[in-house]
Chain A
Amino acid sequence: MTESNFWSRTAGRRISRRAALRGAATVGVGLGGAALIGCGGSDEVDTSSGAAAPAVATAAAAPSAATGTAPEQGKAGQTMVSNVVPGLTYGHLDPTAAIWTSSFTWPTHSMLVRRNTSNPDPDTWEVEPDLASSWETPDANTFIFKIIPGVHFHDIDPANGRVVDSADVKFSLERIGTDTPKFFRKNDFNGMTITTPDAETVQLSFPRPLGPFWSRISIPGTVVLPIEVDQTEGELITSGNPVSGTGPFIHDKWTQDEQFSVKKNPKYFKSGLPYLEGMDNFTITGGSDAVWADFRAGKIDVTAVNGWTVDSLEQAKGIPGINLESRVTVQTHWTVFNTETPPYGDVRVRKAISLVTPRHDIVQIGLRSEEVGRMLGPGGLNPDLHGSATYSWDELRTRPGYRTGTEREQDIADAKKLLDAAGFQGLKSNWKYTSSLTAWPWNDTIATLMTDEFRNVGFDFVLEPYSYSDTLVNLASVDFDIYHTPQYANGPDADDYLEFYFNPDGARNYGKWMNDKFVELMEKQNTTLDPRERNATILEIVKLLEEENPRAPTFNNLNAIATQPYVHNFWAGYYGNSIQFPDIIWRDKS
């Protein structure tokens, strides 16, 4: 399946929704095409968020993937214009300092290895070569990477065309672990020691097994930067200046809030790539209709429309030639409880809220379809992305809080019983939530749906909307009792979710929840190397989280990507949070 053009297989018939999602989620469809997605740059300030990504490229596999699609390649020499890169509002281009910036750095930098997109199984995590041509694992805790000899950095500051050295890799990986406030991934490679026997060899050693090693080494934030960045810290990356990388594109222009563009790297180490002459992303601030207007007028070739509604999707589908698809994202929406404040310190109250949450209404009425968003399982995990680490969709629909009909009535009755048992007398309070007319236009509707439902069990909430950036402040400073908000995982690995949201020192454990059993199980999965065995442990964690409800999952945002008829094999998928366009095949505009 690696060989065929994704669109050539699916364009003619609408594949089932589930299948499409599965493909997306797992990043399984291999295509020479690439991935991308995101919450459009079309956003106001607060959404820096993006989300994105996928499927990585068929990296070294490019030759094989490309071969299959060769006849479709079309002419090179065009610049792809889009509004898909999120996070244009970020003030810097440092991939280590914010998840979203990897969207900028993907095209200009390389990693050691990338996730293998042709593996459809969400339970395993395969990688393929990028800057590293090969690797070996002499024992479970040691990894030796050989980097491709003679790869040049871009001919701009600070490396100015110099050849990549193992010292660059060592520097880049150690930089991730730097104890700087801005570096959120500092625990990713805890205890790692790096040695560089020669200029082309890098050896990583860990004191104990690291379960998520392969996902961490291949998420887009783990790029190889030139060691000179060390001396220019605060000057280069942090202020948005271009930094020489080894990626298929060279950083060309970046203006905060406005534009991000790259041009072709003529000396890219994968020969024949990239096909495109450049990529140009810009922000559209007028809302999803303005984006659509631009797309229909041919101003943009590929678009990710924030706030697509099912109506827009349906309309778009009716237009011949336009390719359109929804992709699952790592953007998750939660009801976050402050577990140190009554009444949410009581697990029965949290559970009641979770039971009463109208998840089906949120999807069917709030989002108006499963193509815009889907229910989110306990722990925030989604079977499309996390496979056996969580309940399957069929199982999920039988869980309390996820059911319909008489079973839902049962859930509401149970919630009332739980509240009675907790001595709950009714509460008048504020429902803080994240509202953005451009990024999540439906959030206001969903807030209305949810609070109407909670009124039936005695919660009288007044809506209190906040922008996304205000939300971050409110959460980080624990200025809330209860909050409904979107959050982004660092990567698609289940571990990324659990670490951030629930670990006692997790950066996004805003509710201050603690649980010894959880810590113990996390330790176990973190040190389990076999992916299926690890997923079994994670499923135990999911069940624990379902009981404890430290935060109630609501829904998972999907993003829609539309491509013009002349765009071929552009595949949008999800990988970590970055947008990726590895081996785009793009037909001439004419």
Chain B
Amino acid sequence: MTSIEGTTPAGALPYGGWREWRVRRVLIGFVRARPLGAVSACVILAMAFAALFASVVSPYDPNLKNTALLLDGPTLSHPFGTDQLGRDVLTRVIYGARITLFIGLAVTAVSGGLGLAIGVTSGYFGGRVDRITVMLLDAMMAFPGLILAIALVTALGSSVLNVILAVLVGFTARVARLIRSNVLSVRSTAYVDAARATGATNVRLLVRHVVPNVVPLLIVLGSLNFGVAMLVEGSLSFLGLGPPPPTPSWGRMLSSEGQQFFRSAPWLGIFPGLVLAVAVFAFNLLGDALRDHLDPRLRGS
């Protein structure tokens, strides 16, 4: 597999030293080479900022009712309009970012961590452990994902934590499977062989050589999964299985309010839907850019 001329020959992330100047150089290099990715990163950062500081950023309290302004269209004081309880939709979208991004983050981080551990162990040690692990992962992946999530949420009840759990199962299997195949190819590379010949222990090999080499893949997968996790949460909420009200989550705003008032108050459905689409779009663009930038070999994964 050839790398593509003209891209930054980053290869793998430098695992020698994470000195500050290096980080800065990598960042600047990324922004120059991938402006679209950089813009996406800014969009995501802005959303994360808004989510973190929702109470400062948003104009109102997300649960503040205003019976004088029920289902009022977009105005200067309520740019996204108000909902059926007179709550400010913009504020709820901002607070919704909290829930949706948190679910995305939790799913990505936990499935990334678990997937990395399972994938690396299985791929590196191989043999019977590997075969059994792959079998289990395959079994998990064979499950229709959304149906599994629906069954789990039905079983456990709908709360933010349970939604995360339900989405997590399928994601972890996919991440682990991809990491494992990546580890397989890293394991057989010349420098791992060389390191092994010098008498490096398994632990040292794993920590110094194998893991750093799968990190780029993990980052790319993470940013793509982030978007998908938000969509799955949206789908669950759409079916009424998301986090319960009055929690403002984009999926629920779209389904329960957006659908109910589609004809009379379209802003209830349009804004959360747009914001969700933009967020997922940004994560995908960023994932793409990261993939191209970090390791051209990963194209197609």
What residues make up the interface of A, taking CB atoms closer than 8 Å to B?
287-289, 292, 307, 309, 311-312, 315, 361, 365, 368, 435-437, 441-442, 444-445, 447-449, 452, 462-465, 467, 470
Contacts and interface: CB of A to CB of B under 8 A. Distances in A.
Nearest to A444: B245
Contacts of A287: 259-260
B263 A365 contact: no
A449 B157 CA distance: 22
Say what secondary structure dominates the interface of chain B. loop
Contacts of A441: 256, 259-260
A464 B263 contact: no
Contacts of B158: 465
B67 to A, nearest CB: 6
A437 B246 contact: no
Given A365-B67, A365-B85, A452-B65, A289 B263 contact: yes
A444 B264 contact: no
A312 B244 contact: no
15 contacts: A292-B263, A309-B260, A311-B71, A311-B265, A315-B264, A361-B67, A365-B67, A368-B84, A437-B240, A437-B255, A437-B259, A444-B256, A463-B244, A465-B240, A467-B240
A452 B240 CA distance: 21
B84 A445 contact: yes
Contacts of A467: 154, 240
A448 B85 contact: yes
Interface of B: 63, 65, 67, 70-71, 84-85, 154, 157-158, 239-240, 244-246, 255-256, 259-265
Given A311-B71, A448-B245, 17 more contacts: A287-B260, A289-B263, A292-B263, A309-B261, A315-B264, A368-B84, A437-B240, A437-B255, A437-B260, A445-B85, A445-B245, A447-B245, A448-B63, A449-B85, A464-B244, A465-B244, A465-B245
Contacts of A365: 67, 70, 84-85
A315 B158 CA distance: 34
Given A311-B263, A441-B259, A436 B240 contact: yes
Contacts of B157: 464
A479 to B, nearest CB: 11
Contacts of B240: 435-437, 465, 467
A442 B244 CA distance: 14
A312 B245 CA distance: 23
Contact of B256 (A368, A437, A449, A470): A437
Nearest to B262: A289
A295 to B, nearest CB: 13
Nearest to A436: B240
Nearest to A466: B157
A467 B150 CA distance: 13
A174 to B, nearest CB: 40
Contacts of B262: 289
Contacts of B63: 448, 452
Given A365-B84, A368-B84, A464-B157, A307 B260 contact: yes
B264 A442 contact: no
A445 B73 CA distance: 19
Nearest to A448: B246
Contacts of B264: 309, 311-312, 315
Nearest to A309: B260
A390 B109 CA distance: 59
B92 to A, nearest CB: 12
Contacts of B255: 437
A430 to B, nearest CB: 10
Contact of A463 (B65, B239, B245, B259): B245
Given A436-B240, A448-B85, A312 B263 contact: yes
A309 B71 CA distance: 12
A289 B67 contact: no
A447 B84 CA distance: 13
Contacts of A463: 244-246
Nearest to B246: A448
A465 B256 CA distance: 13
Closest CB pairs A-B (n = 3)? A311-B264, A441-B260, A444-B245
Nearest to B238: A437
Contacts of A465: 158, 240, 244-245
